[in-house]
Amino acid sequence: MNKLKMRTPDLIKSNIDSIRKLFPGCIVEAKAEDGSEKEVVDFDLLRQELSESIIEGPQERYQLNWPGKREALLTANAPIAKTLRPCREESVNFDTTQNLFIEGDNLDALKLLQETYLNKVRLIYIDPPYNTGNDFVYEDNFTGSAESYFRNSNQKDEAGNRLVANTEANGRFHSDWLTMMYSRLKLARTLLREDGVIFVSIDNNELSTLKIIMDEIYGASCYKNTIAVRRGIKNVQAQFEDVSSLSLGHEYILVYSKKPDLRFSKLILSHSETQPGKWDTFWRGTDRPTMRYELFGFTPETGQWRWEEGRTKEAVKNYQNYLDNHSQNLSIDEWYIDNLTATNVPLNFVRKNEDGSIQYYVPPNEGKLLSDNWMDILLSGNETVFDTEKSLVLMKRIVGWICSSSESNIVLDFFAGSATTAHAVMAVNAVDNGKRRHVMVQIPEVCDEKSAAYKAGFKTIAELSKERIRRTGKELNEEFSNNADAEKLDFGFRVLKIDSSNMKDVYYAPDAVQQGDLLAQVNNIREDRTPEDLLFQVLLDWGVDLALPITKEVIAGKNVFFVDGNALAAYFEMGINEEFVKSLAARHPLRAVFRDSGFGSDSVKINIEQIFKLISPTTEVKSI
């Protein structure tokens, strides 16, 4: 009976195998560090195979290089011996939901998802650390060989111990950030569908370098656009404290597709017409003849102006007043604040005091209208949790634009933060009865003890993320309870936590076990792991969707897991006998997996294989 490998794929070996198919002569044998033989690529010969002329020495070429780039490639390709452990008590609708929340290092998460979600993700949105000098980066310090990386990666990471401060005083300030991003972006590309798209938020600190590594990983021909996004309120306020500096009032989103010829659907930017308490449907197009009026001597025959006539003409007048008074050396944002009207800065965010100072606030009883400020509702106060929280309006627009409501499009965010992306997916689905799914990844980064989130009882950002998804789902469920298709909406999520492998070291390196320890290694599974823990590692290893429905049934007196009906049957207890296996084989599962130590003897194991061949020959049977 074949055994599952129970670890992430070795992408280095996969790449070598691909090269062997095209250029078999470029694969040669060499000595490994331990003296054994291993296959390596003769890069000099490979370069010659791909060149029309003789190559002598290094050639100049356009590229971005930095200390740690090779290390980033190593960390991206090397396998890890880790798993995802289910956490039912922190989940919502665990058995039926199609949404996932993965708690742990996002590099590990991207590796663990490689086989399950390869070429399956429609949209990736990430808002990584901007490298401002105050951010944290992941310390991916695996500078040795792939073998040593694999050994290191079998250790469990404690919450947050992979994060280090990246200050401007660091001699590798840009290099550390690039190393962190390069490996993660490289792995993310393999998860995208052929029509997949990735959006990456960034500010001016690393915009130019991010563009270069995105061109390298995704291809310059796959670059679609750079979107300028107005900064959040707190960042805007900071500009007025130093009016002598140049305004940095925008952030940016780089947009890349998996394939260069991907064409985007038309993005319709219409304003919300919903009533108070209803969720925004701004991304859905409408035709409004009443919004066609004369402006600058032109009246459109189709489409419409963005604002109603009175508001538009007030804005034009305000802008003309600004032009007439620009000699005050104020930026347009600064002038708008000083000349506040309804068309300039949203009044529900800003109040000008009698002394001329600007106060930012959220009016009472307007929480649902100000969905971007959801934490004000959560914390029952007006103090925001993150200065850099993503715009919910922006995220809903992106999700509704890229992902069709009729498909089960997967939306991935592996820098989930406060889970704005998950909120957006659920909100858009609630409006159009969509089937979009979200997969969030967030390391349990410890909250600053001075932060509002910590004072509200959240010890880690991951806790905050999960609570936002719970409350958003509950609120949406109440909001759309009268919807005829409300029962089809998925407001749940399945929590999975990254941990060390369920298998003991002997499973991966049996030759390392001393003869005197053999009796202690009869059971190759860690003692603290449950059957459901083992089930999810099997799903990872077999490349089965981690969000498929799971049920438990009693077969011949034994509890058996069934995944997606009859797609997979799994039993990980002891005492496997022929009577039980006959009953299970009669169900004709597509796949069946057992615990290797659960067989009474080798003869029982052989008999069980024969039983399946007789009763259910199409069943693929394996053990762990």
299-323 confidence digits (pLDDT tens): 877 777 777 788 778 777 776 776 6
Q: Tens digit of pLDDT for each residue in 508-552?
A: 665 555 555 555 445 789 999 999 999 999 999 999 999 999 999
In 435-567, DSSP assigns E strands to: 437-442, 494-500, 550-555, 558-563
Alpha helices in 403-544 (DSSP H): 420-432, 452-455, 461-479, 505-508, 531-542
Q: Where residue 382 sits, what CATH number does that domain have?
A: 3.40.50.150
Q: Is residue 130 located within the same domain as residue 265? A: yes
CA dist., res. 377 & res. 365, Å (int): 9
Q: Is residue 89 located within the same domain as residue 143? A: yes
Sign of the C-alpha dihedral, residues 587, 593, 598, 599?
positive
Q: What is the mean pLDDT of residues 417-421?
A: 92
Q: Is residue 438 located within the same domain as residue 587? A: no
Nearest alpha carbon to residue 121 among 129, 110, 135: 110
Confidence check: pLDDT of 146 > 80? no
- Domain span holding position 563: 516-623
Q: Is residue 23 located within the same domain as residue 98? A: no
Query: Considering the domain boundaries, does residue 188 fall inside one?
Result: yes
**Per-residue pLDDT at 267:** 67
Query: Considering the domain boundaries, does residue 306 fall inside one?
Result: no
Check if the beta carbon of residue 462 is closer than 8 Å to that of residue 69. Answer: no
Q: Is residue 53 located within the same domain as residue 98? A: no
- The percentage of the chain sitting over the pLDDT mark of 90, rounded to a whole number, equals 38
Q: Is residue 533 located within the same domain as residue 465? A: no
Q: Is residue 248 located within the same domain as residue 283? A: yes
CA dist., res. 81 & res. 537, Å (int): 10
Number of domains in the chain: 3
Check if the beta carbon of residue 200 is closer than 8 Å to that of residue 240. Answer: no
**Per-residue pLDDT at 544:** 92
With b for 16 or more beta-carbon neighbours within 10 A and e for fewer, the 205-219 pattern comes to bbeebbbebbbbbbe
**Per-residue pLDDT at 311:** 76
Q: What is the mean pLDDT of residues 612-619?
A: 95
- Single out the residue in 439, 468, 497 at which a domain terminates: 497
Q: Is residue 244 located within the same domain as residue 135? A: yes
**Per-residue pLDDT at 254:** 95
Q: What is the mean pLDDT of residues 43-49?
A: 77
Q: Tens digit of pLDDT for each residue in 100-135?
A: 999 999 999 999 999 999 999 999 999 998 877 767
With b for 16 or more beta-carbon neighbours within 10 A and e for fewer, the 522-549 pattern comes to eebbbeebebebbbbbbbbbbebbbbee
Query: Considering the domain boundaries, does residue 349 fall inside one?
Result: no
Q: Is residue 441 located within the same domain as residue 477? A: yes
Q: Which one of 23-37, 248-262, 360-374 scores highest in mean pLDDT?
A: 248-262
